[in-house]
Amino acid sequence: MKIYSEISSNKLKTWLIMVFFVVFITTIIYIFAKTLGYGLSLVGAALILSGIMSLGSYYFSDKMVLAISGAKEIKKEDNRQLYNTVENLCIASGQPIPKIYIISDSSPNAFATGRSPDKAVVCVTSGLLNMLAKTELEGVISHELSHIKNFDIRLMAVVAILVGFIALISDIFMRSLWFGGSRDNERNSAQGVLMVIGIIFAILSPIVAILIQLAVSRKREFLADASGVLLTRFPEGLTSALIKISKYPYPLKNANNATAHLFISNPFKNKESKNPFSSLFNTHPPIEERIKILRSM
């Protein structure tokens, strides 16, 4: 029962975030248009564009995420062991076999994406494959398959694109607040811009944080750990995989703020990146806590 309510809540949250995005962008543009005296046609354009983006993120977010991460698809012949592991665990959980992608990076990590179990992707780094033994790899894959089964992937991929976009815009505004603005000839207009930016920031930061927290609750990772173990019946596999992953010191090269929450373990390795928003995106429960829970199973 627990899982089924989790699935419907994930589907609902996905829609809420998409609607929220459209409303949010349109409101921002409306405020802009009002303050700077542009016509309302700008608002209409914003409504249409953000609507397209929202739907686009629903259908193409997985491809974008994969492209951002620099992942390449593999076939059965390319890596028989990985393919068999995924196939076997899919048989055990009764779900379709996802496509398998590999990121060539020595930092061990993995994520799953897609919009439904029959259009899903599991992605692992080559470092993960080199570092983990078979039972550990099974632990990681079963964790990812649980994310797929619970529809976490749809929500997380949409969040990655839409919230990532908002974070990107706010980042740009932040920079223009520091470096731009004063060059404007008309004082009124310049003050208006500053005011709007102020408003945007007042609204934006907590909202982005709440959205991410909403989408990527700690509960989600714990649930995926638990249902993954239900699949392999071997908690020690995932435990020692997590230990190995967390001990590896170097961050993943192609991870960024928008995609960080997809991974099984924080790809930045807790090194603060320069972006002020990175702490907001730090949504992974501490590995020690996950290990403690796994050990008690």
Partner 1 sequence: MNFYFFIGIVLVLLFLWYIYNSLIISKLRINEALSQIDVQLKRRADLIPNLVETVKGYAKHEKELFEKITAERSALMTARGPEEKASVNNQLTHTLKSLFAVAENYPDLKASQNFLELQGELSDTENKIAYSRQFYNSSVLDYNTKIQIFPNVFFARILNFKEAEFFGTDEKDKKKVEVKF
Which are the catalytic amino acids?
144
Query: Binding marks (x or -) toward partner 1, 176..215, rule CB under 8 A?
Result: ----------------------------------------
Kindly give the pairing relationship between strand 71-74 and strand 99-103: antiparallel
Among 11, 68, 79, 87, binds partner 1 (CB under 8 A): 87
Least spacing, CB of residue 88 vs partner 1, in Å: 5
Query: Binding marks (x or -) toward partner 1, 228..247, rule CB under 8 A?
Result: -----x--------------
Stretch that binds partner 1, among 38-46, 80-88, 148-156, 250-258 (CB under 8 A): 80-88
141 sits near partner 1 (criterion: CB under 8 A): no
> Closer CB to partner 1, residue 227 or residue 257?
227
Q: CA torsion angle for 175, 178, 183, 186 (degrees, to 10)?
A: 100
Among 8, 9, 27, 84, binds partner 1 (CB under 8 A): 84
Stretch that binds partner 1, among 50-58, 89-97, 143-151, 172-180 (CB under 8 A): 89-97
135 sits near partner 1 (criterion: CB under 8 A): no
7 sits near partner 1 (criterion: CB under 8 A): no
Question: Rule CB under 8 A: which residues touch partner 1?
Answer: 84, 87-89, 91-94, 233
